[in-house]
Amino acid sequence: MPAEISVGIHDLSFRTTSFVLPHTELARYNGTDVAKYHKGLGQLSMSVPAVDEDIVTLAAAAALPLVQHHGADTIRTVVLATESSIDQSKAAGVYVHSLLGLPSQIRVIEVKQACYGATAALQFAAALVHQDPAQRVLVIASDISRYDLDSPGEATQGAAAAAMLVSADPALLELSGTSGLFTADVMDFWRPNYRATALVDGKKSVAAYLEAVQSTWRDYVLRGGLPLEEFRTFCYHQPYTRMAFKAHQALLEECGVHTNEETLHKAVGTTTVYNKVVGNSYTASLYLALAAALDNCHDLDGETLGLFSYGSGSVAEFIAARVRPGYRSHLRAGEHRESVNSRQTVDYETYRELSCQALPTDGNTYELPHQTRGPFRLAALRDHQRIYEASS
């Protein structure tokens, strides 16, 4: 195997839900000044799943364009990263494998570490391709973030899936060199098995996130990483988009660089285009930020991007990646904007009704109403089994 082989993201696609709740509606309901959401959090709206949408239907919808365009013959592995899994045993990616009609000669696994999971999946995929450059790996990040209604975290909810085809000689982004790592045992955000919604200590979570930013950068530099000035844009995991600005300020302070709002916006502003209207999509969030940077910057050929991945609990990684020349001809910007812009706006009462609908757990047969506008749906529950189908 040639030592100089380049490996990275060959194609990238994301999809979100069928419904959207504007934060003006949330503010109308609870009497909050909407500026708390628009400016304080940097959020304008949040994606809301239909009754027949879940992480499987979102994942399959995100991956479908990649399989249709590139075929499945060279895909040898599917890795689905999520922290809102639907089963304690069976990998959600197996359902996706079936919906996409992928060949049997494929390994499928699910990985978990809060919002960091997709980056672990990406690194696993890159290692497989380094081992066998003829194969490709389909990495999917899919999540629906849920917090208790009327809780501080409610305004940051969201849902999306991002799919990446990892290959040798990638068309979009080449993973380059070393990465910086950091792990700390901290209870900043977690969801026990018996809860449908997450628990979070907001102040502790922000502090843990910022410590991870600085710690991964230190590790990256110690391992011979590129200097700060080599990076054109930084993509951060965005539990809410203002967090990306706080994160970059912490990184610049670690480097001893004076900063202001203009400097921060130049570095990360473009990366918030999708997340600010989708909300927190957990594992997919960083890769929606990456998609936003690629789709909305017109001169990234050959430039280096910094990717910071954080998963509460906590595990974090800083990665450098170089944008490949000619990347713009391989983007799916129109599809991404259509996924965001085609969502049906709901009022707060409809959103609350959707949020309170829990799937039955008694093992009887239930047919679910057809609400999704996506290509796949959760059609029924039967004998404790989820039944999926293509939408007609």
As a whole number of angstroms, the distance between CA 191 and CA 114 comes to: 10
* Beta strand spans in 223-371 (E): 231-236, 304-311, 315-323, 344-345, 366-367
Q: Is residue 1 predicted with pLDDT exceeding 60?
A: no
Q: Do domains 7-172+331-390 and 174-326 have the same CATH topology?
A: yes
Q: What is the pLDDT of residue 3?
A: 56
Cα Rg of the chain, angstroms: 20
Q: What tokens does 145 get?
A: 């973030």
Q: What tokens does 156 get?
A: 């940051």
Q: What tokens does 347 get?
A: 């009022």
Q: What tokens does 313 get?
A: 């609990």
Q: Is residue 222 predicted with pLDDT exceeding 80?
A: yes
pLDDT digits (tens, 9 = 90+) for 343-372: 999 999 999 999 999 999 999 999 999 999
Nearest by Cα to 231 from 246, 215, 220: 220
Q: Beta 231-236 vs 304-311: how paired, if at all? A: parallel
pLDDT digits (tens, 9 = 90+) for 308-348: 999 999 999 999 999 999 999 999 999 999 999 999 999 99
Q: CA angle at residue 288 from 286 to 290, to 5 degrees?
A: 70
Q: Which residues are catalytic?
A: 83, 115, 237
pLDDT digits (tens, 9 = 90+) for 22-40: 999 999 999 999 999 999 9
As a whole number of angstroms, the distance between CA 7 and CA 40 comes to: 38
* Residue 312 neighbours by CB under 8 Å, 6+ apart: 114, 115, 186, 188, 189, 190, 200, 205, 208
CATH number for the domain whose boundaries are 174-326: 3.40.47.10
- 312 and 205 in contact (C-beta within 8 Å)? yes
Q: Is residue 2 predicted with pLDDT exceeding 50?
A: no
**Given pLDDT bands bounded at 50, 70 and 90, which one contains residue 121?**
very high
pLDDT digits (tens, 9 = 90+) for 250-263: 999 999 999 899 99
**Given pLDDT bands bounded at 50, 70 and 90, which one contains residue 133?**
very high
Q: Where are the domains of the chain?
A: 7-172+331-390, 174-326
Helix, strand, or coil (residue 181):
strand
Average model confidence (pLDDT) for the chain? 96
Q: Is residue 4 predicted with pLDDT exceeding 80?
A: no
CATH number for the domain whose boundaries are 7-172+331-390: 3.40.47.10
Measured CA distances, 12 to 165, 210, 328 (Å)? 7, 27, 12
